[in-house]
Amino acid sequence: MVYDLIVLGGGPAGYHGAALAGRKGLRTLLLEQKALGGVCLHSGCIPSKTWLQAAKILTHARNGTAYGVKAAELHLDQQAVTARKNKVVRILSAGVKTKLQNAGVEVVAAKGEIQGRDESGFRVKAGAHCYTGKNLLVATGSVPVIPPIPGLEAGLGAGTIKTNAELFDLDHVPASVVVIGGGVIGMEMAAYFSAVGSKVTVIELLDRIGGEIDPEIAGILYDNYRKKGVDFKLNTRVTAVDGQRVQFASPTGDGAVEAELIILSAGRRPLLSGFGLETLRPQMENGRLVVDRGGRTSVPGLYAAGDVNGRSMLAHTAYREAEVCIDCILGGTAEVNYEAIPAVIYTDPEVASVGETAESSARKGLDVQTVKVSMRYSGRYVAEHEGGDGICKLIVARGDRRLLGVHLITEYASELIYGAGLMIDRGLPLDELEKVVFPHPTVSEIIKEAAFQYGSI
């Protein structure tokens, strides 16, 4: 039997693409040697958000006095937090299986290895069987970056250093934590452990935290977590790890810090080896599988979605890329608009962004104007956030007043940023944005307030 589509990998891109293909009538086979759901469901997005919800409840209870609520004898049970995480993962894993079953997708719990391609299609071996598909969707995801730092590999082997792959089975709160890397994952873990009582140190190679977020928002996030007791070492390079001791070098001198737990959060890289991709000789670039906006590789019939193509290593991007791949397989012309992909850091407060920043606009030579509004223009923000210092920024094209970017640091940022992404995707000018009716009181109203303030500049 020849399948219309074989999918390698059961993460967000893989299972979503397979389910969509099945619903569209394509005879689809999905190969996944581990649990369905991928890193996002089992050791990434979902476990971290489950943990962070526990931390948020604890933080709100501790700060309740400012709102007229007093709580005593607060205690976080890490074993219970991890047990609930496991329950959430089981529930969602069952949902993924049901989704694939309902779509008529055949799932084989085995590693897929590409054998080559002939006139019938792509040949993929899994276990003792060899399958053939007219089209092949590579959705193998990514793995943690392990920098060449002395002692790092030994620490990972000994369990004193953990990546996200091992972290979320933790059964106790460590007294101290060092986070290597102050990007998205690193900051979320710093947020959790600082909230539950660990002494947290973040070591970041760059001069700011949060990766490519707006610099001013990165500064506000930095100040928030310094006030919460997190020790940041910016412009700092880890030079060695010796047991529980992390050595570093910075412009102000060398030093070291010891911790019960060391978390490695130095980024992720596409997983391109170990499954025979080289037999097809697709175009590679900078350690990623090159695709166009339709998910097509340089090999006809070979598509790639999710982290493996390295374009936007986010689960929701993977979903959209998979949708576009299936549309193109069916003869469509859909493309991914990478300029309208939202990104979120689930700290407290949350950071959310979509589109251009002032920095990226300058690099591209775009003529833009920025408007910044305090979140205290939002009635709900003031009602729910005592002493908050959040902001919202709009990046607007001067000529046609199109919305090009939105950046916020505030509670609920993750829930409202999709609307900003939609506005950017549709090329909405501020004149049209001002006509949108936002429910009141909501934090989302800040976008309309910023648009009005831009009009008065």
Residue 222 forms part of a structural domain = yes
Q: What pLDDT, on the 0 to 100 scale, is given for residue 271?
A: 97
Averaged pLDDT, 99-111: 98
Q: In terms of domains, do 139 and 273 share one?
A: yes
Domain hosting 377: range is: 349-455
Catalytic residue positions, numbered: 440
Q: In terms of domains, do 9 and 130 share one?
A: yes
**Per-residue pLDDT tens digits for 221-240:** 999 999 999 999 999 999 99
| Residue of 434, 445, 20, 390 whose CA lies nearest to 217 | 390
**Per-residue pLDDT tens digits for 369-415:** 999 999 999 999 999 999 899 999 999 999 999 999 999 999 999 99
Residue 457 in this model has a pLDDT that exceeds 60? no
Residue 344 forms part of a structural domain = no
Q: What pLDDT, on the 0 to 100 scale, is given for residue 454?
A: 86
Q: In terms of domains, do 12 and 136 share one?
A: yes
Residue 399 has phi, psi (to 5 degrees) of -65, -65
Averaged pLDDT, 343-357: 98
| Residue of 263, 262, 276, 252 whose CA lies nearest to 31 | 276
* Bridging pattern class, strands 2-8 and 261-264: unpaired
- Token pair in block for residue 239: 């030079």
Q: In terms of domains, do 138 and 168 share one?
A: no
Q: What pLDDT, on the 0 to 100 scale, is given for residue 366?
A: 97
Residue 246 forms part of a structural domain = yes
Q: In terms of domains, do 8 and 134 share one?
A: yes
Q: In terms of domains, do 117 and 176 share one?
A: no
**Per-residue pLDDT tens digits for 47-85:** 999 999 999 999 999 999 999 999 988 999 999 999 999
Length of the chain measured in residues: 457
Q: In terms of domains, do 317 and 361 share one?
A: no
**Per-residue pLDDT tens digits for 148-166:** 999 999 999 999 999 999 9
Q: What pLDDT, on the 0 to 100 scale, is given for residue 135?
A: 99
Residue 73 forms part of a structural domain = yes
CATH number at residue 426: 3.30.390.30
Q: What pLDDT, on the 0 to 100 scale, is given for residue 432?
A: 93
Q: Other CB atoms closer than 10 Å to residue 71's CB: what's the count? A: 12
Q: In terms of domains, do 333 and 353 share one?
A: no
Q: In terms of domains, do 21 and 135 share one?
A: yes
Q: In terms of domains, do 230 and 291 share one?
A: no
Residue 456 in this model has a pLDDT that exceeds 70? no
**Per-residue pLDDT tens digits for 22-44:** 999 999 999 999 999 999 999 99
**Per-residue pLDDT tens digits for 268-292:** 999 999 999 999 999 999 999 999 9
Domain stops at, among 338, 361, 383 = 338
Q: In terms of domains, do 300 and 380 share one?
A: no
Residue 176 forms part of a structural domain = yes
* Greatest distance between any 2 Cα atoms in the chain: 72
Residue 343 forms part of a structural domain = no
- Tally of domains in the chain: 3
Q: Quote the mean pLDDT of the chain.
A: 97
**Per-residue pLDDT tens digits for 173-218:** 999 999 999 999 999 999 999 999 999 999 999 999 999 999 999 9
Q: In terms of domains, do 179 and 238 share one?
A: yes
Residue 372 forms part of a structural domain = yes
Query: Going by C-beta distance under 8 Å and a sequence separation of 6 or more, which residues neighbour residue 49?
Result: 346
CATH number at residue 108: 3.50.50.60
* Bridging pattern class, strands 161-162 and 176-180: unpaired
- Token pair in block for residue 252: 């102000």
Does the CA dihedral 364-313-92-353 come out positive or negative?
Answer: negative
